[in-house]
Structure 1
C-alpha cells in the first residue's frame, strides 16, 4: 500500500528521503515516532484513547508494516506510544482539548419521522380526491418529498456531511419514482398501453417513507456500538471481528422492520406489499447511505446508478419493441415478468445492487477508520 507523505520514509520538501528499510532507531538524533506524533499532532490531541489514533493512522495509509519499521508489532502498538508521548512531551493532553462529543439528540429522531408523516398525508389525499385535485395532491407530494428527505437526514446518524453527489440523488429519486409508478407502467406497456392512468403503488412507497425512522435508529445503533468497540478493543483485527455481527444485526433489524411496514401498509391500503422490489430497494438505500456516511461514497453511487439504469432500460426496451422489427428487444423483460410478475425487474436490479453493497459494507464498515470521528479519519 502506498504510504502518504506524513509517514516516515516519504520524501520531504527538499527531496530527501528517510531510509525505511533500516531499523528505525534513534540514530542521528532523529526520533521517527516523535516526528510522527508531530505530523499527526491534531489527531493525537483530539483522541480519547490509543485506538482512535490507530484508526486515524489506518485512514492515512499507515500499515502494520510501517509500524514494524518503527519497532512496533502493529499499528495499535505504535498508536499507544504516540498517545502516551502526546501527553508526556508537553503537548495538549489527549481528549482534553475539545469538548465532550455530543450524544444522540432527540430532534434527529423526530426529523426521521417527517417523511413517513408526509407520505401518509399524501396517500390519504390521493385516496380522498379524484380528478384534477388528485393530480395536484400527487404533484405536491412529489415536489415536497425531496426537500423533506434532505432535511430529515441533515442531522443524526444518517447525515452524509455533503458527501452525496448530485448524480446519486438523481438516481435515488428515479428509484423511488419507479417504485411508485414503474410496475404499473411496465404492465401497461406490455399490454399495448398506457391508454389510461395506470395504478400507483402507494403502499410500498409509504412503507419506504415510514422506514426512514427505523433506518435512522439502526444506523445510530450501529454507530454507538461500534464506538464502544472502538474504545474497548485491543487491536484492529479484534475490532473488525466485533463489528461485523453488529453490522449484520443492524441490517437484519432494518430489514425486519421494513417487511413489517410493507405488510401493514399493504393491508391498510389493500394493495400488494411488493416485498421483493420494495424490500430490495430499502436495503439498497440503507446500505448506500451507511457507506456514504462512513466515508465510502464511490461504490454506493455506482450501485444506485446501475440499479436505476437497469430499470430504465427495461422500460425502454418494452416501448422500443413496438417499432417495426424490434419486438425481440422486449423478450428478456417479457420472460422475466411472465415468470415472476412486473415487480421482478425492480427486485432483480435493486437486489443485485444491495448484495454488492452488503459485501462492500462488510469489508469497509468493519475498519476502525470508518467509525473514527471526522477530525481523525479525514
Structure 2
C-alpha cells in the first residue's frame, strides 16, 4: 500500500498517568495495551488502513484516538501497524499484491460461469414451450419451470459475485418472492380491481420477469467491479475520509450502469414477447434488489429487509384501498390509486412503491459502503457495525 509516513501527534510518554488500579503496561505504553486488545487485527493486517478500518468497525472513534494522543483513527492505526512485526507472507502481499490476490482467488470453472445466466435460460425455455402445451401438461410446465428457476436463482445467490458470507434477515426471501410475483401478476390484478373485478384469469407479465433474471449477469459484473474498485482504493487511500470520498462515486456510477443495462434488457424482452416494457416498475424493482443484495453482502441485512418490506407494503396497501373502496361510503379510498394509474398506468403503483424503497435504501447504502470497515478482512461482524452506526 502506498500510504504516507506520518508522525503521531503524541507518543506513549505523553499519555496521562493512569490510576494505580491500571496495569503497568497501560501506564508505560497505552498504545501497546490497545494493541493487545486488538491483537488479531494487528497481526493479520497488511497495511495501516486495514487496521484503521478494523478499529472503526469495532467502535474506535476519533474521540478514542485523541485519548491516545493521536489526531485521528488513521494516525493511531499507523503507529500500531509500525510496531507490529510482519510475516514474510504479509511483506510479499505488500510488494506484490496482484500475485498475492491471485493465490487466493477461486478458480473459475465453466459450470460456475454458466450459473448466472441459468435462471434466465430456464425461464426462456419454459416460455418457448408454453404455446405448445395445454391442460395438465401446461400446469406441470409452469410448476416445473418455476421450481427450476427458483433453485437456479438460489444457487446464484449462494456463490460467485452475488454470494454473501452474511446471512439474510428472516423474511427477506419471502419479500423477494412477493415482489417477483407482483411483477408477474400485480399490474393485471390492479387493472382487474379498477374495472370491478377480478373477473376470470389474466395473462401474466413475463417480459419484466425475464429481463430481471437476465440482469443477474450485469448485476454480478457491477458487484465484482465495485468490490475490486473499493479494495484498490482501500490500498491507495491516505485516510478513511479519502477512501469514502473515492468510493461513493464508484458505487453510484456502477449503479447507474446496471440500471441502463436493465432498461436495455427490458426493451429487448418486451419486443420479443410483444408486451409492455415496464421500464419504471421493473427498473425500480431491479434497482431495489441490487441494493438489497449489496447491503446483505456487507452485513446490513436488516436495512435490506426493511426496504423490501416497504416495497411490498406499498403495493399491498394500494390493492387493499381499491377493494376497501367498494364498501359503503368508502369510495374515496380508491382515489389516490385511480389518479396515479390515470397518470402513469397500472405500472405506476409498483414503480412508486419500489422507488420509495430504493430511495430509502440508497440513503443508507452510500454511507454504509463508503466505510472502510465494510471491506476490511478483519472487520467486526455486522451487528457490531450496526451498533456503531447508532452511536
TM-score (norm 1): 0.87
What is the DSSP-based 3-state SS (H/G/I as helix, E as strand, rest coil) of the residue aligned with 1:34? Answer: helix
Q: Deviations over 1:21-48 (max 9, x none)?
A: x963586542221111111111112211
Q: Deviations over 1:110-139 (max 9, x none)?
A: 322222222212222334333433232222
User: Is residue 24 from structure 1 mapped to residue 15 from structure 2 by the alignment?
Assistant: yes
Alpha-carbon distance in 2 for matches of 1:358, 1:261: 23
Bigger shift: 283-292 or 75-84? Answer: 75-84
Structure 2: runs of 5+ lacking an equivalent? 1-12, 19-23, 94-99, 382-391
Matching residue within 100, 105, 108 for 1:106: 108
Q: List aligned pairs for 1:1-378, cutoff 5 A.
A: 24=15, 28-30=24-26, 31-87=29-85, 95=90, 102-103=104-105, 105-107=107-109, 108-373=112-377, 375-378=378-381
Bigger shift: 33-42 or 167-176? Answer: 33-42
1:9 is aligned to: none
Q: CA deviation at 1:93?
A: 6.5
Q: 1:80 to 1:110 in 2, by over 3 A?
A: farther
Given that residues 204 and 262 in structure 1 are in contact (C-alpha distance below 8 angstroms), is that contact kept between their aligned partners in structure 2? yes
Given that residues 368 and 374 in structure 2 are in contact (C-alpha distance below 8 angstroms), is that contact kept between their aligned partners in structure 1? yes
Bigger shift: 29-38 or 296-305? Answer: 29-38
What is the DSSP-based 3-state SS (H/G/I as helix, E as strand, rest coil) of the residue aligned with 2:125? Answer: helix
Q: Deviations over 1:229-262 (max 9, x none)?
A: 0011110000001111110111011111101100
C-alpha RMSD over aligned residues:
2.3
Q: CA deviation at 1:96?
A: 7.0
Alpha-carbon distance in 2 for matches of 1:45, 1:93: 12
2:21 is aligned to: none
Given that residues 119 and 150 in structure 2 are in contact (C-alpha distance below 8 angstroms), is that contact kept between their aligned partners in structure 1? no
Alpha-carbon distance in 2 for matches of 1:117, 1:32: 60
Q: CA deviation at 1:140?
A: 2.3
Q: CA deviation at 1:59?
A: 0.3
Given that residues 169 and 302 in structure 2 are in contact (C-alpha distance below 8 angstroms), is that contact kept between their aligned partners in structure 1? no
Alpha-carbon distance in 1 for matches of 2:327, 2:153: 39
Given that residues 183 and 343 in structure 1 are in contact (C-alpha distance below 8 angstroms), is that contact kept between their aligned partners in structure 2? yes
Higher relative contact order (CA 8 A, sep 6+): 2
Q: CA deviation at 1:354?
A: 0.6
Given that residues 201 and 271 in structure 1 are in contact (C-alpha distance below 8 angstroms), is that contact kept between their aligned partners in structure 2? yes
Alpha-carbon distance in 2 for matches of 1:184, 1:239: 46
Number of equivalences:
353
Q: 1:371 to 1:355 in 2, by over 3 A?
A: same
Q: Deviations over 1:269-289 (max 9, x none)?
A: 111110000000000000111
2:5 is aligned to: none
Given that residues 267 and 277 in structure 2 are in contact (C-alpha distance below 8 angstroms), is that contact kept between their aligned partners in structure 1? yes
